[in-house]
Amino acid sequence: MSVNSRGSETPDTEDRVVLHGTPVSPGIAMAPAFVYGDILDEVEVRTIDASEVDGEIARLRDAVALVKTELLRDARHVSKQLGQGEGDVFLAHSMILEDPSILEAILDIIRNSHVNAEAAVAEEMKRVTAVLSSADDRYLRDRAYDVSDIGQRVIERMLGVWAHCPLSQPMILVARELRASDTASMDRGRILGFVTELGGTESHAAILARSLGVPAMAGVAGILERVRTGELIALDGALGVAIVDPSTDTRARYESMREEEIRERHELASVLELPSVTRDGTEIALMSNIASGDEARQAAELGADGIGLLRSEMIFMSANLFLDEDAQFAAYREAVEPMAGKPVTIRTLDVGGDKFVGSENPFREHNPNLGYRSTRVLLDRPDLLLAQFRAILRASAHGAVRILVPMISSVDELRQALGRLDEAKGQLRSEGVAFDENIEAGAMIEIPSAAMVADRLAAECDFLSIGTNDLVQYTLAVDRGSSYVSRLYRPHDPSVLALIARSVEGAASAGKPISLCGEMAGTPAYVPLLIGLGLREFSVSNGRLPATKKAIRDVDLDTAVSLANEAVAASTAGDVAALLGLDDSRHHEEP
């Protein structure tokens, strides 16, 4: 395929497969594919001698015992943290491994077919999964996923999580779906891009890709059947094109596009040394969204004005467990210290929706984004909320920490959460533990109901922060993680803009600051619009800092205000896209 300029393509008949999808993160990459998630298909089948059979059986038994211990630990943890019912899911998983017929069948394969243990597990688990998947009963069909997951866990324990990846060099990760829990444990240094079948522009894998600054595309139907591990992929994330086994010409073209991109990025990075002000001198605070202490150090090096959002659940997900107060304190302190007195906004746990500690949704809801998520869970679990508040408060003795409470849908919820914060402060005071008595606490505006009462929320806390990733999903009833409706996920819809405008006015009427930390802020085409709507503080992933700062420095305030007025008054998202010069089908354009 020839790409003459952005958006115009000429087929090259020697490219083996050209895949089209939704662009979710711009950039060019060329590397071998690693097809993730089909470990049951990919596992190496090795013939063994009769003398090796006992050794393989011992390896299998060790791995099974290890996975059982992990599952029981998870069950205990989750039961303690979230209730018996949720913990039972993990117990049910461990029962799969107790099933003598499954274990005997695996042992028989090793003994009779003389193959390595992981190949025997893969064969038996695929057989059981196939039987369950074709059952009429929905409950049994749902169990197919569990069996496959358990099979993968056992194999991973024998091989190591990434050991089944035959590639030692950087790769493009290809998967049917990347859940937030998958991305939390990834070897990020080796990933040059993502291609997935499922997932929308604001799925967590998409956000991760943009924060890593690597290209990504989603919505590629049948991806697992079309790419094999080891095949070379040339990926253009801005166009949403991936070429499998590209021709010599295509390779050369992608190489030069990549070199050009590196040159441009280098030039763009120089903007980080300049102040974050519009052309007319209006100051705009530009902060970072982070998920770890490492990213805090990177944000400090890139000159971010602070941390506008630390997604604390990502720290829990990387550790794969609910951290206790001391472990949380250590993690938050690691994020606070590098910022050397600049504000660090730590958000309380946002679990549920598509984010779980452990690979499973313990709640098994049909509509998890409207269900048991985030602050709703924490208000039911004061022990968790108090431990988190205490850890954040303790970290506030080491820097300018702010607390942010996500997914607030009413003033009542905010009051309840702040009541717990007061309780945590009281406990620390009576224990003589140091914390910042003037610590600020804010609410996220991610739900239309919160935007509608933003003035009243702002009156009861110290600041607001708009999370457009969720605000768009809940306003337009478009799942942020679904590839099927991703073309309807339009942050520039006039209804979303009206809610942002209302939130900004609400904060102003209460005399409180408001920032925006959704991905919209890191999309240069939206920056003039958001400044025109009155926002003066943004928080974006580290990878988006240069492009966002450049966009801020290009803004003229008067023009931005007229643009925002016109956009809010527009009838359709298409009309707003035309005003912004946006291709309405793509929201993450090249900077």
Contact (Cβ atoms closer than 8 angstroms) between residue 296 and residue 308: no
Binding to ligand PEP by residue 548, rule CB under 6 A?
no
Binding to ligand PEP by residue 518, rule CB under 6 A?
yes
Q: Tell me the one-letter amino acid at 161.
A: V
Q: Which tokens hold the place of 164? A: 């089944």
- Least distance in angstroms from the C-beta of 55 to ligand PEP: 46
Contact (Cβ atoms closer than 8 angstroms) between residue 404 and residue 346: yes
Q: What is the DSSP letter of 43?
A: P
3-state secondary structure of 171: strand
* CB nearer to ligand PEP: pick between 129 and 473: 473
Where does 237-275 show beta strands of DSSP type E?
241-244
Give the one entry of ligand PEP, Mg ion, none that residue 293 binds, where binding means its C-beta sits below a cut-off of 5 to 8 angstroms depending on kind.
none
* CB nearer to Mg ion: pick between 219 and 352: 352
Give the one entry of Mg ion, ligand PEP, none that residue 398 binds, where binding means its C-beta sits below a cut-off of 5 to 8 angstroms depending on kind.
none
Give dist(CA 100, CA 516) in Å, integer. 54
**Alpha-carbon 71 to chain mean position:** 24
Give the one entry of ligand PEP, Mg ion, none that residue 517 binds, where binding means its C-beta sits below a cut-off of 5 to 8 angstroms depending on kind.
ligand PEP
The secondary structure of 175-210 as a DSSP string is: ES---HHHHHT--GGGEEEEEESS--TTSHHHHHHH
Question: At 138, which helix (H) or strand (E)?
Answer: helix 138-159
Q: Which of 123, 236, 470, 493 binds ligand PEP (CB under 6 A)?
A: 470
- Give the CB-side neighbour count of residue 329, counting CA atoms within 13 A: 17
- Least distance in angstroms from the C-beta of 469 to Mg ion: 5
Site string (349-368) toward ligand PEP, x via CB under 6 A = -x------------------
Residues with Cβ within 8 Å of 253's Cβ and at least 6 positions away in sequence, in order, are: 2, 3
Give dist(CA 578, CA 571) in Å, integer. 12
Binding to Mg ion by residue 360, rule CB under 5 A?
no
Binding to ligand PEP by residue 517, rule CB under 6 A?
yes
Give the one entry of Mg ion, ligand PEP, none that residue 311 binds, where binding means its C-beta sits below a cut-off of 5 to 8 angstroms depending on kind.
ligand PEP
* CB nearer to ligand PEP: pick between 19 and 314: 314
Judged by CB under 6 A, the stretch of 137-145, 359-367, 410-418, 466-474 that binds ligand PEP is 466-474
Q: Which of 467, 506, 522, 543 binds ligand PEP (CB under 6 A)?
A: 467
Binding to ligand PEP by residue 129, rule CB under 6 A?
no
Residue nearest to ligand PEP (CB): 467
Contact (Cβ atoms closer than 8 angstroms) between residue 183 and residue 161: no
Give dist(CA 351, CA 380) in Å, integer. 13
Give dist(CA 339, CA 458) in Å, integer. 26
Binding to ligand PEP by residue 446, rule CB under 6 A?
yes
Q: Which of 25, 203, 229, 468 binds ligand PEP (CB under 6 A)?
A: 468
- Least distance in angstroms from the C-beta of 96 to Mg ion: 34
Nearest to 51, CA basis, from 114, 8, 96:
114
Give dist(CA 229, CA 309) in Å, integer. 36
Catalytic residue selected from 164, 165, 461, 517:
517
Strands 17-20 and 241-244: antiparallel
Q: Which of 311, 390, 402, 550 binds ligand PEP (CB under 6 A)?
A: 311
Q: Tell me the one-letter amino acid at 484.
A: Y
Residue 342's region, left for phi above 0, alpha for psi from -120 to 50, else beta, is beta
Based on the residue annotation, tell me whether 204 is a catalytic residue of this protein: yes
- DSSP alpha helices (H): ranges in 270-322? 293-301, 312-319
Q: Tell me the one-letter amino acid at 276.
A: S
Contact (Cβ atoms closer than 8 angstroms) between residue 120 and residue 60: yes
Judged by CB under 6 A, the stretch of 385-393, 463-471, 485-493, 566-574 that binds ligand PEP is 463-471
Question: At 267, which helix (H) or strand (E)?
Answer: helix 248-269
Contact (Cβ atoms closer than 8 angstroms) between residue 287 and residue 343: yes
Footprint on residues 470-529 left by Mg ion (CB under 5 A): 470
Footprint on residues 547-586 left by Mg ion (CB under 5 A): none
Catalytic residue selected from 77, 93, 164, 204:
204
Contact (Cβ atoms closer than 8 angstroms) between residue 505 and residue 535: no
Footprint on residues 436-455 left by Mg ion (CB under 5 A): 446
Residue nearest to Mg ion (CB): 470
* CB nearer to ligand PEP: pick between 110 and 517: 517
- Least distance in angstroms from the C-beta of 201 to Mg ion: 14
Judged by CB under 6 A, the stretch of 358-366, 380-388, 462-470, 492-500 that binds ligand PEP is 462-470
* CB nearer to ligand PEP: pick between 27 and 518: 518
Give dist(CA 348, CA 407) in Å, integer. 10
- Least distance in angstroms from the C-beta of 314 to ligand PEP: 9
Give dist(CA 534, CA 516) in Å, integer. 11
- Least distance in angstroms from the C-beta of 474 to ligand PEP: 9
- Least distance in angstroms from the C-beta of 469 to ligand PEP: 3
Binding to Mg ion by residue 37, rule CB under 5 A?
no
* CB nearer to ligand PEP: pick between 125 and 458: 458
Q: Which tokens hold the place of 239? A: 């166009």
Q: Which of 21, 237, 467, 546 binds Mg ion (CB under 5 A)?
A: 467
Give the one entry of Mg ion, ligand PEP, none that residue 522 binds, where binding means its C-beta sits below a cut-off of 5 to 8 angstroms depending on kind.
none
Based on the residue annotation, tell me whether 517 is a catalytic residue of this protein: yes
Active-site residue list: 204, 517
Applying CB under 5 A, which residues contact Mg ion? 446, 467, 470
Query: Where does this chain bind ligand PEP (CB under 6 A)?
Result: 309, 311, 350, 446, 467-470, 517-518
